[in-house]
Structure 1
Amino acid sequence: MHDLTGRTVLLTGASKGIGAATAEALGAAGANLVAHYGGDRAGAEAATAAIPAERKLLVQADLADGAAVRRMWEEAVAWQGRVDVLVNNAAVMLDSPLASNDEEWDDAWTRSLDVNVKGPALLLRAATRHHVEHGGGVIVTFSSWAAQRGAGNPDLIAYSASKAAIKAATQTIARAHAADGVLAYVIAPGIVRTQMSEVSAQRTGGEEALTASLAMKEWVPPSDLADLVTYLASGGCRHLTGATLDVNGASYVR
């Protein structure tokens, strides 16, 4: 267990899936946690239930609303006077089939880019400026293996493109600000045991067929990713900055 006592972490999408597991792990490591949620406050409260009240702050924001994202960042900084770690986790996975009508196509792309790219990029910008001013900090961005190899489901073209975009943005920050002490990492999970992945699997042949295609014949548990985030948040491996960390049980090896 890495000790994050005294470090303040802003985690987006803390109410379910990877975010909920990460919230629990960060809290157990002693972090002061700013837990963002979109609409599911009950989920965020459940994920942070074990964290003492003085070490957690729950903040609501629609990542598609730039003003709301900026207010969230300002509130996070004001709480403890500093944000040491940003974890860009929240995302939407919307179908954007080539056969959809123009309105449906445009809506899926707009929402995907707003929530998965523009909102996280605003936080990436704010965190980078903040970290440079305060002598360094950590940024962790969740991408996807779909950003590396393309989505296996062609209906997820907007999702895979958005995950590639925020990956590139994070790597750009890593290269530009390594000398400033800004450590920026990308995590690219494969099939993770979340509700979002379970719903997606039902659209593409079912869970059994998907599991059979995986090298380990099992999905990635969210706890594996939560443990990785906790390690990265500690700043314990500075020269790993800029890396994309594949977590897929050897199903996709580059």
Structure 2
Amino acid sequence: MILDDFSDRLDIALQKEMPDHVAIIMDGNGRWAKQRNLPRVAGHHEGMKTVRKITRFANELGIKVLTLYAFSTENWKRPRFEVDFLMKLPGEFLTTYLPELIEENVKVEMIGNFDALPTHTQQAIENARKATEHNDGLILNFAMNYGSRLELVNVVKRIGELAMTNQIELEDIDESLIESCLMTSHLPEPDLLIRTSGEIRLSNFMLWQLAYAEFTFTDVYWPDYNEQCLLEAIEDFQLRNRRFGCVDEEKKGINRKIR
């Protein structure tokens, strides 16, 4: 039987295993705007509305962590006007929707080089962090001024410091030590990675953390991404056979890694 009704499909999805952590590369804002003869920043502004919509739906689904790739370390190379606009969006989004996030028990966090952001961007993020720090629902985790290679370089530096100060031995360096130095050390690893706009690459995003994530790519531009799109990604995820390197007979009892 084919179920076309959204609510019926949602009910079925909610009865199955839900990804704990969904990570999204929000792509296509500029092309969405270009199709409509609008400036690129109009696409970014529309994409902000999609963040609200997808956050609310992810919370409804019971997803524990939603990480959104909002601004990469490479995005500073874009035109100054566009960068300035993107740096203002966190303030607008968090000022407008913070009461709603608090009401819905959402906790705001961020990974990335916080200190290099403009002061007004830092203040907006810090205000949201403090206002939601006691919430225990969905974690809305913005990857802002984030680059995975830089993150891993900093991990190597941290481990080097520990070794030079005799806090660890060479034999102590293992996966768990590396993971404890990552910006995401307190979060479960992503179960599902979604990238919009038809691009099929990771773009320096969570290269360590995505080792066993399921990937879904869609041609839909981020401003057009909606609850239907996310539900389809979840349904596809629920059809996948996640073996984590084992064969089916061996994986019984193996739980997803939760830090």
Q: Normalising by the residue count of structure 2, what TM-score does the alignment of the two structures yield?
A: 0.36
Over alpha carbons, which structure has the higher Rg? 2
Q: Which has the higher contact order (CA 8 A, sep 6+)?
A: 2
